């Protein structure tokens, strides 16, 4: 299968700390690739380099064959690389629908339009509503974002990312802080997207990772110590030793 | 335009407050229209000139709210655009009066020429200054906008040809076909028309696609970048638009006072505009109009009573900001 996102020999240090150490990683078209690792393994630093919020010290990032290492965040999004945030980053004073509509708007040509009422623009509102429906948020479409629950914020993050109609999703701990019920719903939702969208999934929740991912990479102290199918990773003695051992999977 | 869906109307605002907002807006417009009659009725027609100045300041306050309240860009140099707009009008009149030329141009006193010119010149100056200032954010943005405004302030202080720190007087107001601007009441209504037009334009911008992006920049720039918006461009356009609004206000002020001076660009003036916005309610657009009227009105009343009026107004403002964070507009119209 064709490789969609590829990092090659990525390095990033903060002083003496190597947060990313020679990371080469590939996400193929049609694949869900999970990155797991203990706290402080450098998962957030890795995501930040993929989205363009941090520049790597060395190495390259390619998306769809194109070198995007030096591109700003917004350009990467325009190329079809959408992300969700670990810590909810939505527009708190806008409604759920506004948040999604702004993503639809980002896809639909110029936003240098100064006169027509954007909230009455059915070319924005219609798609926005269908994405909200898809993640199960249609009933709270008009609720202000800051009044939604944590679980709803996570769902909305996903709806916003989907509304960008990306070619690939970067999901930064989409299950972070969710209860069991919300978690299960989100996993089901992600599974339903699996066939349409390649994803790079950074996640803590092992059950979710092993049930969703086609391949898993294990990040420890900034290094990838193993990549393989969920089963192979489960059985890898080095991984068990470094990471899974104490936690019992 | 496609037919609006019933539920697509201002989803985050319940209908009751929409109705209340409309009533308050209508009442405000009626009050603005009736002020000259009220001044005459009270036997104090000189108040029309006072109200005219309130209206002119309100235009500058609304324009500041566009970037400060909606875009979340705390510009502390907004008076620079107010002053620059005024100077363009006064300098054009200066050359027209003494038949001298500026770069081959003989000046003009025609409102329909010099007011748009004031707006255009100010926008042209605001473009590079905004482009540099917007490279920074937070406290640095506040400081750099202040610094640029002070640079323009000292520029006009040092240009002795146009009066330096003594300022520059205009012999008479600009001429406008079909309206005698020398008449206080006519001039008042021209200023009100400008205020209504400018505020309507800003309100449309706030609701537009551009406005949604601008408001998004305030709430989370990181989110907007992740959505694929090059936020810098949007902020720059907003910065220039706001400067243009302040320039219109300055052009009217030059006519109202028939005098401009570097004081128009001073940082104190920028601070005053900020107080009007905060007092009226940041991000409400209509609130700053009320903010301008109340601040200047209270100032007028207190200064007639004591020269230490700042001592009273200061604590009043503090109390207001602490206890009525949504500003005057929040109190009256019940909007966030």
Choose among B7, B213, B226: nearest Cβ to A73. Answer: B226
Of A221, A231, A212, A218, the closest CA to residue A169 belongs to A212
- The rounded distance, in Å, linking the Cα atoms of B111 and B306 is 38
Is there a contact between A120 and B212 if contact means CB atoms under 8 Å apart? no
Distance from CA of B231 to the nearest CA of A (A): 9
Which pLDDT tens digit goes with each residue over A104-113? Answer: 999 987 888 9
Residues of chain B with Cβ-Cβ distance to A48 below 8 Å are none
- Determine the residue of chain B that is closest to A83 in CA distance: B226
pLDDT band at A24 (very low <50, low <70, confident <90, very high): very high
- The rounded distance, in Å, linking the Cα atoms of A156 and B100 is 64
- The rounded distance, in Å, linking the Cα atoms of B55 and B255 is 13
- Determine the residue of chain B that is closest to A48 in CA distance: B226
Provide the whole-model pTM: 0.92
Please check the confidence at residue A14 and state whether its pLDDT lies above 80: yes
Residue A1: the pLDDT is: 62
Residue B335: the pLDDT is: 58
Residues of chain B with Cβ-Cβ distance to A124 below 8 Å are 209
Please check the confidence at residue A204 and state whether its pLDDT lies above 60: yes
Residue A245: the pLDDT is: 56
Whether B16 is in a domain gets the answer: no
The number of angstroms, rounded, from the C-alpha of B229 to the middle of its chain's C-alpha atoms is 28
The total of structural domains in chain B comes to 1
- The rounded distance, in Å, linking the Cα atoms of B266 and B105 is 28
Q: A72 — contact with chain B (CB < 8 Å)?
A: yes
Whether B13 is in a domain gets the answer: no
Distance from CA of A72 to the nearest CA of B (A): 9
Is there a contact between B11 and A103 if contact means CB atoms under 8 Å apart? no
Q: Which helix (H) or strand (E) holds A20?
A: strand A17-28
- What mean pLDDT value characterizes chain A? 91
Whether B218 is in a domain gets the answer: yes
Which pLDDT tens digit goes with each residue over A220-248? Answer: 899 999 999 999 998 888 888 876 555 44
Q: A91 — contact with chain B (CB < 8 Å)?
A: yes
Terminal C-alpha separation, chain A: 29
Residue B17: the pLDDT is: 79
Phi-psi region of A65 (alpha: psi -120 to 50; beta: other; left: phi over 0): left
Structure tokens, A112: 């240098």
Residue B313: the pLDDT is: 80
Residues in chain B: 336
Interface test with B, best of A91, A165, A167 (most B CBs within 10 A): A91
- Determine the residue of chain A that is closest to B235 in CA distance: A112
Q: A62 — contact with chain B (CB < 8 Å)?
A: no
Is there a contact between A73 and B225 if contact means CB atoms under 8 Å apart? yes
Residue A244: the pLDDT is: 59
Is there a contact between B209 and A121 if contact means CB atoms under 8 Å apart? yes
Residue B14: the pLDDT is: 62
Domain A1-80+167-249 indexed as CATH 3.40.30.10:
no
Residue A249: the pLDDT is: 39
What are the pLDDT tens digits along chain B (336 aa)? 344 443 333 445 566 778 888 999 999 999 999 999 999 898 888 999 999 999 999 999 999 999 999 999 999 999 999 999 999 999 999 998 887 888 878 888 999 999 999 999 999 999 999 999 999 999 999 999 999 999 999 999 999 999 999 999 999 999 898 888 999 999 999 999 999 999 999 999 999 999 999 999 999 999 999 999 999 999 999 999 999 999 999 999 999 999 999 999 999 999 999 999 999 999 999 999 999 999 999 888 888 888 888 888 888 888 877 887 788 888 888 755
Angle at B289 between CA B285 and CA B293, to 5 degrees: 160
ipTM of the shown complex: 0.92
Q: A86 — contact with chain B (CB < 8 Å)?
A: no
Residue B331: the pLDDT is: 84
Is there a contact between A117 and B336 if contact means CB atoms under 8 Å apart? no
Distance from CA of A57 to the nearest CA of B (A): 22
What does the CA dihedral B325, B327, B333, B335 come to, rounded to 10 degrees? -50
Is there a contact between A91 and B215 if contact means CB atoms under 8 Å apart? yes
Whether B2 is in a domain gets the answer: no
- Determine the residue of chain A that is closest to B5 in CA distance: A120
Range of the domain at B93: 21-333
CB neighbours of A174 closer than 8 A, spacing ≥ 6? A84, A154, A157, A158, A186, A190, A201, A203
CA separation (Å) from A22 to A18, A65, A217?
Answer: 10, 20, 14
Residue A87: the pLDDT is: 86
Distance from CA of A90 to the nearest CA of B (A): 6
Count Cβ atoms below 10 Å from residue B249 Cβ, excluding itself: 31
Number of Cβ pairs < 8 A linking chain A and chain B: 129
CA separation (Å) from A81 to A62, A169, A213, B65, B218?
Answer: 11, 6, 19, 35, 24
Is there a contact between B208 and A160 if contact means CB atoms under 8 Å apart? no
Residue B6: the pLDDT is: 39
Structure tokens, B321: 């900001």
Look at residue A221 and give its three-state secondary structure. Answer: coil
Whether B7 is in a domain gets the answer: no
Per-residue three-class SS string for chain B: CCCCCHHHCCCCCCHHHHHHHHHHHHHHHHHHHHHHHHHHHCCCCCHHHHHHHHHHHHHHHHHHHHHHHHCCCCCCCCHHHHHHHHHHHHHHHHHHHHCCCECCECCCCEHHHHHHHHHHHHHHHHHHHHHHHCCCCCHHHHHHHHHHHHHHHHHHHHCHHHCHHHCEECCCCCEECCECCCCHHHHHHHHHHHHHHHHHHHHHHHHCHHHHHHHHHHHCHHHHHHCCCCHHHHHHHHHHHHHHHHHHHHHHHHHHHCEECHHHHCHHHHHHHHHHHHHHCCCCCCHHHHHHHHHHHHHHHHHHHCCCHHHHHHHHHHHHHHHCCCHHHHHHHCCC
- The rounded distance, in Å, linking the Cα atoms of B221 and A72 is 13
Sheet holding A168-172, edge to edge: A81-84, A168-172, A199-202, A32-36, A215-220, A223-228
Residues of chain A with Cβ-Cβ distance to B5 below 8 Å are 120, 122, 125
- The rounded distance, in Å, linking the Cα atoms of B296 and B301 is 9
- CATH number, domain containing residue B226: 1.10.3470
Whether B3 is in a domain gets the answer: no
The label of the residue with tokens 């640029």 reads B148
The structural domains of chain A, with segments of one domain joined by +, span: 1-80+167-249, 90-165
Distance from CA of A58 to the nearest CA of B (A): 23
Please check the confidence at residue A168 and state whether its pLDDT lies above 90: yes
Local structure of residue A2 (DSSP, 8 states) = -
Which pLDDT tens digit goes with each residue over A35-55? Answer: 998 888 899 999 999 999 999
Choose among A73, A82, A142: nearest Cβ to B11. Answer: A142
């Amino acid at each position: 299968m064709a490789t969609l996102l590829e990092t090659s020999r990525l390095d990033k240090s903060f002083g003496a700390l190597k947060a990313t150490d020679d990371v080469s990683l590939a996400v193929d078209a049609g694949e869900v690739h999970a990155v797991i690792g203990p706290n402080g393994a450098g998962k957030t630093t890795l995501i930040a380099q993929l989205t363009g919020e941090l520049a790597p010290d060395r190495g390259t990032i390619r998306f769809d064959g194109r070198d995007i290492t030096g591109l700003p965040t917004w350009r990467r999004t325009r190329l079809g690389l959408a992300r969700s945030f670990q810590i909810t980053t939505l527009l708190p004073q806008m409604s759920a629908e506004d948040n999604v509509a702004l993503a639809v708007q980002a896809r639909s040509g110029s936003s240098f339009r100064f006169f027509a009422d954007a909230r009455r623009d059915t070319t924005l509102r219609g798609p926005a509503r269908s994405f909200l429906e898809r993640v199960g948020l249609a009933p709270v479409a008009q609720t202000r974002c800051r009044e939604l629950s944590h679980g709803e914020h996570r769902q909305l993050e996903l709806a916003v990312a989907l509304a960008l109609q990306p070619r690939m999703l970067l999901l930064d701990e989409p299950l972070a802080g969710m209860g069991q019920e919300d978690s299960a719903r989100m996993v089901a939702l992600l599974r339903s997207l699996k066939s349409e969208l390649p994803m790079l999934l950074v996640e803590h929740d092992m059950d979710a990772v092993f049930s969703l991912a086609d391949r898993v990479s294990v990040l420890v102290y900034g290094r990838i110590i193993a990549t393989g199918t969920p089963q192979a990773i489960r059985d890898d003695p080095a991984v068990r030793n470094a990471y899974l051992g104490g936690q019992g999977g | 335009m496609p037919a609006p869906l019933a539920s697509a109307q201002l989803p985050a605002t319940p209908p009751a407050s929409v109705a209340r907002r409309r009533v308050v807006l209508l009442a405000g417009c009626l009050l603005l229209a009736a002020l000259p009659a009220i001044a005459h009725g009270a036997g104090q027609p000189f108040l029309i000139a006072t109200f005219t100045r309130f209206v002119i300041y309100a235009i500058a306050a609304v324009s500041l709210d566009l970037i400060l309240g909606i875009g979340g860009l705390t510009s502390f140099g907004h008076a620079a655009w107010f002053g620059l707009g005024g100077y363009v009008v006064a300098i054009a009149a200066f050359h027209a009066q003494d038949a001298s030329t500026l770069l081959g141009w003989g000046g003009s006193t025609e409102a329909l020429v010099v007011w748009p010119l004031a707006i255009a010149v100010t926008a042209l100056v605001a473009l590079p200054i905004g482009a540099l200032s917007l490279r920074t954010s937070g406290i640095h943005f506040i400081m750099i906008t202040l610094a640029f405004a002070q640079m323009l302030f000292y520029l006009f202080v040092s240009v002795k040809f146009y009066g330096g720190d003594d300022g520059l007087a205009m012999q008479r107001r600009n001429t406008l076909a079909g309206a005698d601007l020398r008449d206080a009441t006519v001039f008042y209504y021209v200023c009100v028309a400008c205020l209504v037009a400018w505020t309507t334009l800003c309100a449309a911008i706030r609701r537009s696609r551009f406005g949604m992006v601008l408001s998004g920049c305030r709430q989370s720039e990181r989110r907007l970048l992740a959505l694929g918006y090059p936020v810098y461009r949007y902020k720059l356009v907003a910065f220039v638009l706001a400067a243009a609004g302040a320039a219109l206000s300055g052009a009217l002020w030059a006519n109202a006072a028939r005098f401009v001076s570097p004081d128009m660009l001073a940082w104190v003036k920028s601070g005053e505009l900020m107080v009007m916005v905060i007092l009226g309610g940041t991000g409400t657009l209509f609130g700053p109009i009320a903010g301008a009227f109340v601040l200047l009105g209270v100032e007028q009343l207190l200064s007639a009573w004591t020269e230490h009026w700042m001592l009273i107004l200061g604590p009043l403002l503090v109390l207001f900001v602490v206890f009525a964070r949504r500003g005057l507009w929040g109190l009256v119209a019940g909007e966030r």
